[in-house]
Chains A and B, each alone.
Chain A
Amino acid sequence: MIEIPNADRDRFAEAFVVANTPASLLTWLEGDPTVLRVATSETDEEIIDTLLPLLRAAHRSESQTGTAYGLLVALGLRRRSNLGDFALPCRLTSLAWGDEIWRRLARSYVPTTRIERRVVQPATANVQRADGGAAVILDVNGNRVMPEQGE
């Protein structure tokens, strides 16, 4: 479980109350120092272990709800910087804006472009080391090519 100081919880609570939209809440939380600290210093498992009891609480306070959003965004930031795996970490139905915020985090993730390069094989000859260290040049069919015939 991650220890989150009361001052941080109070800030999360105010963010939750002030936010008019999921966008404004996410924008705020993405820049929150505590969210950034959790995202960089805690593991996915620790974040989820701390988040789940908050999601399951029958009657959440603003402090708990705001903290849950903070942890959710921290988890999203970790996923964004690590694997880019945006499968839902748990059911977010108890957070009114949970799914929406998670979708926004996933949408803003830009995966690194995968570049494939094909190595072009020499079309005419391979070089192998023969017994005794002498170089033998073979053509693509495996036939020996004499140096004076190579050009």
Chain B
Amino acid sequence: MPIRLQTARGTDISNDQWTEISTYERNWAATLATPHRQIRTALSPTYNCHGLTFASRRTRVFDTPEVQLILGDDSYTEVPIETVLPGDVIVYYADDGQITHSGIVVANPDQIPRTPVIVSKWGSGPEIVHRYSDVHTMYRGIPKFYRCRA
């Protein structure tokens, strides 16, 4: 079921809340924990990664154009990895420019190479705190960091 979701400029964003978690998903989610990942929440069908990053965990946002609309309307600006701060967001792009994943930066340790730590959500699974490069192979691509200037 969709909810009312708008950008800062009042543009409607299509979305949908899901309601079910399957046994398969529970079993799959149980395999996600590793020494380098911290499971932060229980599973939730309500929101996906973009819902976590851009919609306050209220719903699912699916389309690349919708996310690009949010980035534009909400005055997000790309920032280099060296200057990334907690609260910035990360967006993963496939080779063809499609957005495959997103998350929120929670730390950017002062080390070389820079390895920001993010919180993101994988499917209907839990929120996971992990290094930005430690994502499911489906999400691997070109990561870009953005800061909301609004």
Contact = CB atoms under 8 A, between A and B. Distances in A.
Interface of A: 13-15, 17-28, 61-63, 100, 108
Given A27-B94, A27-B98, A27-B100, A21 B63 contact: yes
Given A20-B50, A23-B64, A108-B96, 7 more contacts: A17-B25, A17-B124, A20-B49, A20-B101, A20-B139, A27-B94, A27-B100
Interface residues of B, number: 27
Contacts, number: 68
A20 B50 CA distance: 8
Given A17-B123, A18-B122, A28-B138, A23 B25 contact: no
Interface of B: 22, 24-25, 28, 48-50, 60, 62-64, 94, 96, 98-101, 121-125, 136-139, 141
Contacts of B122: 18, 20
19 contacts: A13-B24, A17-B24, A18-B123, A18-B138, A20-B100, A20-B101, A20-B122, A20-B123, A24-B98, A24-B101, A24-B138, A24-B139, A25-B138, A27-B98, A28-B137, A61-B24, A62-B24, A63-B24, A108-B96
A42 to B, nearest CB: 24
Contacts of B99: 21, 23
A26 B138 CA distance: 10
Top 8 A-B pairs, shortest CB-CB distance: A24-B100, A23-B98, A62-B24, A27-B94, A20-B48, A28-B138, A20-B49, A21-B62
Name B's interface SS: loop
A14 B122 CA distance: 11
Contacts of A61: 24
Residue among A61, A62, A100 with max Cβ neighbours from chain B (10 Å): A62
A121 B60 CA distance: 63
A17 B124 CA distance: 7
A20 B122 CA distance: 7
Contacts of B63: 21-23
A49 B64 CA distance: 32
Contacts of B101: 20, 24
A15 B100 CA distance: 12
Contacts of A18: 28, 122-123, 125, 136, 138-139
A25 B64 CA distance: 13
